């Protein structure tokens, strides 16, 4: 089942379903993206320590990465990216890019912020300079970045925020979503809306009912993994993800562990992003087929075996756990590259297995 999305050049092809889980292809101007997919995070225009060539090559074979409106706006600045004609050329990346709206970072990172119905005034976490971010400004920044998929500007409250805060955030997010849709986007840039509502299912359903009336190309679940208990995250996913429009991609923002991804896929989510594989790699926490490995542990000091004998990545084919431990403890830059390459490979293969199971055991999607 192939559905042309609102923005020319984009289509979502639903191939098979297994329960609520889906396998599909998101067609973009920068190439097709097999779903379910994990998108490596390149906040500042780089997936930390990785070159574009390494991300594009098997076994990672990333078809889409993330950039961030807030960070790229503050540094290096729009004049630099505009001079390159957009983020693809600036970063040397020829495949698809999704950009976050900057809303989450404004609310979580800015030293000070003042939220009103028009937008947010904040001070940079870098130098304290004062800035104003509105739905229109967020879309204009993403227009300069010229990402394939832009995200509507939203208000993301903490998971434990009181009900009145969530209600206000939902109202603002809907109003801001409508304003984002009225901003002219560059050709070939799709726009996704973001559903808020915290962990209350009725609130989520009400907000989704509002947003799905708007002509977005896809819909994201925001406001999860922001302080709530994991059982509440799963409860929302299980009850709600599959209710989002069937013919459009569904995106779970900022989640998570390999188990979280499997749970999200089972709930009907198509797209995921998280800093976990890259950040955990730098901090010495590595995902393997035998479970998580803390590479600094003394037991690895004389271990001449590979990190994961089942992994085909360059790290596992050429280095030992002892060598990785040495690089990590010595704070050698090479460690970050080896570890990140491995964790991203683990995530890519994890998602590929989930997709293969849906295709093999599921039913072909029908109109």
Which one of 255, 274, 293 terminates a domain?
274
Alpha carbons 53 and 39: distance in angstroms, whole number: 16
What is the average pLDDT across 112-119? Answer: 90
Nearest in space to 345 (alpha carbons), one of 317, 311, 305, 321? 311
Alpha carbons 367 and 355: distance in angstroms, whole number: 20
Nearest in space to 291 (alpha carbons), one of 264, 313, 258? 258
Greatest C-alpha distance within the chain? 61
Query: Within a domain: residue 104?
Result: yes
Which of 100, 167, 270, 308 does the annotation list as catalytic? 100
Which one of 230, 250, 274 terminates a domain?
274
pLDDT digits (tens, 9 = 90+) for 158-204: 877 899 999 999 999 999 999 999 999 999 999 999 999 999 999 99
Query: Within a domain: residue 99?
Result: yes
- Verify that 180 and 318 share a domain, yes or no: no
Query: Within a domain: residue 100?
Result: yes
- Verify that 203 and 178 share a domain, yes or no: yes
- Verify that 183 and 326 share a domain, yes or no: no
**pLDDT surpasses 90 at 112:** no
- Verify that 365 and 245 share a domain, yes or no: no
Pairing of strands 64-68, 96-100: parallel
pLDDT attached to residue 108: 78
Would residue 273 show up in a list of annotated catalytic residues for this protein?
A: yes
Tokens of 281: 């790699």
Phi, psi dihedral angles at 192 (to 5 degrees):
-105, 145
Number of folded domains that form the chain = 2
- Which range of residues forms the domain containing residue 322? 278-367
The two counts, helices (H) then strands (E), for the chain are: 14, 18
Query: Within a domain: residue 7?
Result: no
pLDDT digits (tens, 9 = 90+) for 71-97: 999 999 999 999 999 999 999 999 999
- Verify that 236 and 152 share a domain, yes or no: yes
Q: How many CA atoms lie within 13 A of 365 on its CB side?
A: 22
Cα Rg, the chain, nearest whole Å: 20
Which one of 226, 259, 274 terminates a domain?
274
Query: Within a domain: residue 315?
Result: yes
Query: Within a domain: residue 28?
Result: no
Which of 148, 167, 217, 273 does the annotation list as catalytic? 273
Strand order in the sheet with 250-252: 37-39, 271-273, 250-252, 218-221, 190-195, 149-151, 96-100, 64-68
Would residue 127 show up in a list of annotated catalytic residues for this protein?
A: no
**pTM tops 0.85:** yes
- Verify that 146 and 50 share a domain, yes or no: yes
């Amino acid at each position: 089942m192939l559905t042309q999305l609102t923005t020319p050049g984009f289509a979502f092809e639903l191939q098979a379903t297994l329960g609520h889980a889906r396998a599909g292809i998101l067609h973009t101007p920068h190439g097709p993206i097999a779903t379910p997919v994990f998108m490596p995070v390149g906040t500042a225009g780089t997936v930390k320590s990785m070159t574009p060539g390494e991300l594009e090559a098997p076994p990672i074979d990333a078809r889409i990465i993330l950039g961030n409106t807030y960070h790229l706006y503050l540094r290096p600045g729009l004049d630099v990216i505009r001079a390159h004609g957009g983020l693809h050329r600036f970063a040397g990346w020829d495949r698809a890019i999704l950009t976050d709206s900057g809303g989450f970072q404004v609310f979580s990172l800015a030293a000070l912020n003042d939220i009103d119905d028009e937008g947010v005034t904040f001070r940079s976490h870098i130098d304290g300079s004062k800035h104003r971010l509105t739905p229109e400004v967020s879309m204009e920044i993403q227009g300069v970045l010229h990402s394939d998929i832009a995200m509507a500007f939203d208000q993301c409250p903490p998971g434990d925020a009181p009900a009145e805060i969530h209600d206000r955030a939902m109202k603002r997010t809907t109003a801001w979503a409508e304003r984002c849709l009225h901003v002219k986007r560059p050709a070939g840039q799709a726009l996704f809306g973001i559903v808020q509502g915290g962990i209350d299912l009725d609130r989520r359903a009400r907000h989704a009912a509002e947003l799905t009336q708007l002509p977005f190309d896809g819909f994201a679940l925001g406001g999860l993994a922001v302080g709530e208990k994991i059982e509440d995250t799963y409860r929302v996913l299980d009850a709600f993800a599959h209710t989002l429009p069937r013919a459009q991609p569904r995106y779970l923002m900022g989640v998570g562990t390999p188990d979280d991804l499997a749970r999200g896929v089972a709930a009907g989510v198509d797209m995921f992003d998280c800093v976990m594989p890259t950040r955990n790699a730098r901090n010495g926490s590595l995902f393997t087929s035998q479970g998580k490995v803390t590479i600094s542990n003394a037991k690895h000091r004389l271990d001449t075996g590979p990190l994961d004998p089942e992994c085909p990545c360059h790290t596992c084919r050429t280095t030992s756990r002892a060598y990785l431990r040495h690089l990590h403890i010595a704070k050698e830059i090479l460690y970050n590259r080896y570890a990140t390459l491995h964790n991203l490979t683990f995530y890519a293969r994890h998602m590929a297995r989930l997709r293969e199971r849906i295709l093999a055991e599921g039913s072909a999607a029908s109109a």
